[in-house]
Each structure stands twice: as C-alpha cells, then as structure tokens.
C-alpha cells in the first residue's frame, strides 16, 4: 500500500511539474473510481441529460485545465474531482432551471440521514450556507457525499484525524437535514 501511495504521489508531483504522461497515467488509474462516483451521483436521475461518461469526461477536461491546484497526492485529486462533478451537475441544473420549457426539477438521491430524494439546487444552497458558516465541514460533505471518498482519504486530504472527520461529517449531515427542512 505504501509503495502504491508513493507511486501515486510521484505521478501527482510529476503532473504538477508539467509531465503530461504522468497526468494521463494518473487519470487512467482514476477512471474506474470516477465512473463509480458518477454512477452514484447520477443513480435514479431521469431528468439529467448527462451520462456517466459525459460527467466523467467533463470532470477530466476541467482537471486538465487546472494549472496548479496544490495537489499533494491521489486523495487530493479525488477530492477535487468530486467537487468538479458536483459543480458540473449544479451548472447543468441551473441551466435547466433557466430554460422555462423544462418544468421538471433536477433531483439527487441523498444519503443524508436516509432521507428521500432531495433537490440538487436546494442541497447546493444548503451547502453554500454551510460553507459560509464552516467551510471545512462543507468540504468534508463534498468529498464524502459527492466524491464517495472514505473517511481515511478525507483525513489524508485535510490533515485531520479520522475521528475528527467522522464527527464533522455527522455534524454537517445533521446541519444539512435541518437547513433543507427549513428551505422546503
């Protein structure tokens, strides 16, 4: 495992230094994870015109456009990928909402306290409010919920202990439940 992390860290560092082969190799390694994450995000969404491939490809294109995100390792790249996928879907939902001919709401299946499907824009607004109050908790939600990252990966990215990540994840989920109930 340590050798794998060292290899991935080396690829990230080489990408940061402009090595396109390292970038391509790392993105190839992340392809299955990104497809799984996109599948989870899009599961049950009949109103979103994105396919899994569309969402992954758009996220990869945006990743490749970033000059220097300060990535340290593969977990950082995963966190940014998850954030990009979320932003892509929110942009898509906003454009659909702006189109007056489309009368359906874009929804997303959430795992927040086993709640039913929630509106993506409502969740996005709640996350923005949470970010204004506690940006770190909002970032944990993005990585965990949208990115499907493990507590261990989030711990690695944030530098927090796993117990702290779990506590903040639980607090953020509880806050989002209340915020979305109030917005309903």
Phi, psi (rounded to 5 degrees) for 115: -80, 160
Domain boundaries 2-183, corresponding CATH code: 1.10.10.10
- The answer to whether residues 55 and 85 touch, using CB atoms and an 8 Å cutoff, is yes
Query: Where do the domains of the chain lie?
Result: 2-183
Q: How far is CA 8 from CA 34, 104, 154, in A?
A: 16, 42, 16
- The answer to whether residues 56 and 38 touch, using CB atoms and an 8 Å cutoff, is yes
pTM: 0.58
pLDDT in the model for residue 118? 52
Distance of CA 146 to the CA centre of its chain: 4
Strand (E) or helix (H) holding 107: strand 107-108
pLDDT in the model for residue 92? 79
Residue-wise pLDDT tens for the chain (184 aa)?
455 556 667 888 888 888 888 888 888 888 888 888 888 877 756 566 778 888 888 888 888 887 666 777 888 888 888 888 888 888 877 777 665 444 444 444 444 444 444 577 788 888 888 888 898 999 898 888 878 888 998 998 889 999 999 999 999 988 888 888 777 6
pLDDT in the model for residue 144? 86
- The answer to whether residues 39 and 52 touch, using CB atoms and an 8 Å cutoff, is yes
pLDDT in the model for residue 164? 93
pLDDT in the model for residue 161? 93
- The answer to whether residues 125 and 183 touch, using CB atoms and an 8 Å cutoff, is yes
């Amino acid at each position: 495992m340590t050798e794998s992390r060292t290899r991935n860290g080396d690829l990230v560092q080489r990408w940061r230094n402009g090595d396109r082969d390292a970038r391509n190799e790392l993105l190839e390694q992340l392809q299955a994870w990104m497809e799984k994450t996109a599948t989870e995000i899009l599961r049950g969404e009949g109103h979103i015109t994105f396919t899994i491939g569309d969402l992954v490809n758009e996220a990869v294109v945006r990743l490749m456009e970033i000059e220097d995100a300060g990535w340290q390792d593969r977990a950082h790249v995963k966190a940014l990928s998850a954030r990009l996928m979320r932003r892509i879907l929110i942009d898509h939902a906003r454009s659909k909402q702006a189109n007056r001919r489309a009368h359906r709401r874009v929804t997303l299946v959430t795992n927040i306290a086993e709640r039913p499907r929630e509106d993506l824009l409502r969740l996005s607004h709640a996350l923005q409010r949470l970010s204004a109050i506690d940006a770190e908790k909002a970032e944990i939600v993005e990585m965990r919920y949208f990115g499907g990252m493990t507590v261990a990966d989030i711990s690695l990215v944030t530098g927090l202990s796993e117990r702290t990540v779990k506590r903040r994840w639980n607090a953020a989920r509880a806050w989002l439940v209340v915020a979305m109930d109030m917005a309903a």
